[in-house]
Amino acid sequence: MSEKFVADGPETTGIINQENQSAPKRNWQTWLIGRPLETADAPHQTIGKAIGLAIFASDALSSTAYATQEILVILAAAGTVAFGYAFPISIAIVLLLAIVTVSYEQIIHAYPGGGGAYIVSRDNLGDMAALTAGAALLTDYILTVAVSISSGVAQLVSAFPTLFEYRAYIAVGLVLLVMLVNMRGVRESGSAFAIPTYFFLGTMLLTLVVAIFQYLTGSLGSVVDPPPMHITHGVQAITLFLILHAFANGTTALTGVEAISNGITAFNEPRSRNAGITLVWMSIILGTLFLGITFIISKIGAVPSESETVISQLVRTAYGGRNLLYLVTIAATTVILIMAANTAFAGFPRLSALMAQDGFLPRQLTFRGSRLVYSRGILVLAIIASILIFLFDASVTLLIPLYAIGVFLSFTLSQVGMARRWRKSGQITPDEKVTERGSVLVYDPRWAVKMVVNGLGAFVTAAVMLIFAVTKFRDGAWIVLVLTPVLVAIFFTIHRHYQNLAKNLSLEQYMEPRRVSRHRVIMPVSSVHRGTLEALNYARSISADVTAVHVSIDPQEAEKVKAKWQQWGDNTRLVIVESPYRLLLEPLIDYIKKIAAKRQPGEIITVVVPQFVPENGWANLLHTQTAFWLRSALLFRRGIVITEVPYQIRKLDEEG
């Protein structure tokens, strides 16, 4: 190992910079997720627009596989005559998509550090709104993994019914697979997921082109042997509430749109420009697929059914049956549904790292792993999503009511935040700059127009969120409505802890600590052996006031300890503490506390614990971990230090 020492200023400062080229050793993790990357490699791990679309858009693009069906499921309550409203509803949803896209494109340029709705709300609406947006998004990312993976497994189980009882295990296995791919780094996960994403886009666009050509030439047929129609809410009349309910269901197509604004830092420079272009690409593709699918489905007489999806009905109608093209297209759809989880694995760790930097989540989530990704955030997401999948037995029907409320809550808060930002922009002079925590605010001459656009968007997304909350409350939406404020309370509790800790550790107005005037050492002794004498030697090197303590539960053993101590104890005093109830730790702790109660100002008590270390780590389980239990019992008492003195057990022929 080559080392280089560089003095930082005059030698009297005692500060030395040391360069070290030690690299992590190769192990099973290296084989699993790849070789560790240096911090200096971070700028080279960013991605371009094409890979960025595959990573951050898979959730939004995959929603085209079920969004139209979600509309038809609600309209089916009024009969097939109501299906004519599906296409106008999809147009309204695409208009909403355009508003949301414009809003997030503005956010990307205004907040190039990423964070999306969380950062916008924090800087413009305060911590409460920011944490509400953060809680909503984190919850939605978890549900994205659970729903998308479960949906993909449902497609697989439909083809192989014998796997039904194992669907939860299969889903968790796929979660772990996606997790491992993401652990390998942004570039590698993007490359791995790019081919399936573009394969899905190619097959779906080809299907739409074929179907639209058949429609224009009059050769487009109807669904042959349509499956039984699925009706969830009984027979109803066509009412405004029904239309709004269908509209709300269809807006699941917008889930995942915010992911790019959270992951701006993953893009190549210029980050904001590349992220913004990718967002526009995604929205155009999403809107085109969604409108095309809904339009063609309304022409072929497809019906919502649990036995066959409307996408399956569309594809087999366009290709004239369940032929090779049909199988390839359905396979691509299944893969993209599973891959939709990748959007969450890209967004959740980055958002949780931002919240952790602000002190609202554990600091450990800011840690970058060996492949320069937020590996702990990735692991947390995988664990929680897997637990959800097991709890709901990988049922999309049970999970879907929890979905999308959080997305539209974050949409609403982000657009209210941007509206307020434009208002602040209009209140400063053209040559003035205001530095905020997440961006720099400058005057915008079109602030009034932008404020109205974002205000309108906030109103529409809030309305959608309320419709979701009302119509799906009994189906499970109440869980999210209860969970969000609970999470916000937890965030504030974590933040309060970090604030109190920082206040107590602050060096401002700090008086120099009282110097140690006396050092007393207490050394527990269970028996007298080589490890005991090593510890005694150390104890006597740090203080002349050393007291050995033996807890006696067996008088005969205590006599043996006395005899050996007289021979080997080097005149160090030994205290025998009687334990009539055969307790070991409690009498020792009581003795230490009594000594500590009489502690003088400036006196430190050090408990030196002899600790022999066996050759094999597993053998530690065979021995009493006295130091661990003492540290746990005395950790919160001032003026007491626990020190272990290890003695490595070796073969006799190795000593000397």
Torsion of CA 111, 115, 121, 122, to 10 degrees: -90
Asked whether the beta carbons of 520 and 446 are under 8 A apart, the reply is no
Q: How many C-beta neighbours within 10 Å does residue 426 have?
A: 15
Instruction: State the Cα–Cα distance between residues 83 and 74, nearest whole angstrom.
Output: 10
- Domain regions of the chain by residue span: 49-499, 518-654
The residue count of the chain comes to 656
Residue whose C-alpha is closest to residue 264's, from 123, 450, 58, 56: 56
Q: Kindly report, residue by residue over 415-445, the tens digit of the pLDDT.
A: 899 999 999 988 888 888 888 887 888 888 8
Instruction: State the Cα–Cα distance between residues 139 and 351, nearest whole angstrom.
Output: 11
What local confidence, expressed as pLDDT, does residue 1 receive? 44
Asked whether the beta carbons of 509 and 535 are under 8 A apart, the reply is no
What local confidence, expressed as pLDDT, does residue 278 receive? 93
Above 70 in pLDDT, residue 37? no
CATH architecture of the domain with range 518-654: 3-Layer(aba) Sandwich (3.40)
**103/398: higher pLDDT:** 103
Burial of 54 (0-12, 13-18, 19+ CB in 10 A): buried
Fold of 49-499: Amino acid/polyamine transporter I (1.20.1740)
Above 70 in pLDDT, residue 34? no
What's the pLDDT band for 208 if we cut at 50, 70, 90?
very high
- State mean pLDDT over 594-603: 85
Instruction: State the Cα–Cα distance between residues 234 and 290, nearest whole angstrom.
Output: 27
**240/290: higher pLDDT:** 290
> What's the mean per-residue pLDDT of the chain?
83
Instruction: State the Cα–Cα distance between residues 578 and 568, nearest whole angstrom.
Output: 22
- Whether 49-499 shares its CATH topology with 518-654 is answered no
Instruction: State the Cα–Cα distance between residues 82 and 373, nearest whole angstrom.
Output: 48
Tell me the C-alpha to C-alpha distance, in Å, between residue 392 and each of 115, 127, 161, 177, 230.
Answer: 30, 33, 19, 20, 21
**35/75: higher pLDDT:** 75
DSSP 230: P
Detail the DSSP E strand segments found in 36-140: none
Instruction: State the Cα–Cα distance between residues 123 and 422, nearest whole angstrom.
Output: 12
Q: In which residue are the tokens 């080229």 written?
A: 21
**526/291: higher pLDDT:** 291
Asked whether the beta carbons of 303 and 80 are under 8 A apart, the reply is yes
Q: Kindly report, residue by residue over 473-485, the tens digit of the pLDDT.
A: 777 777 888 889 9
What local confidence, expressed as pLDDT, does residue 375 receive? 87
Instruction: Kindly report the pTM of this predicted structure.
Output: 0.77
Q: Kindly report, residue by residue over 449-501, the tens digit of the pLDDT.
A: 889 888 888 888 888 888 878 877 777 777 888 889 999 999 999 999 999 88
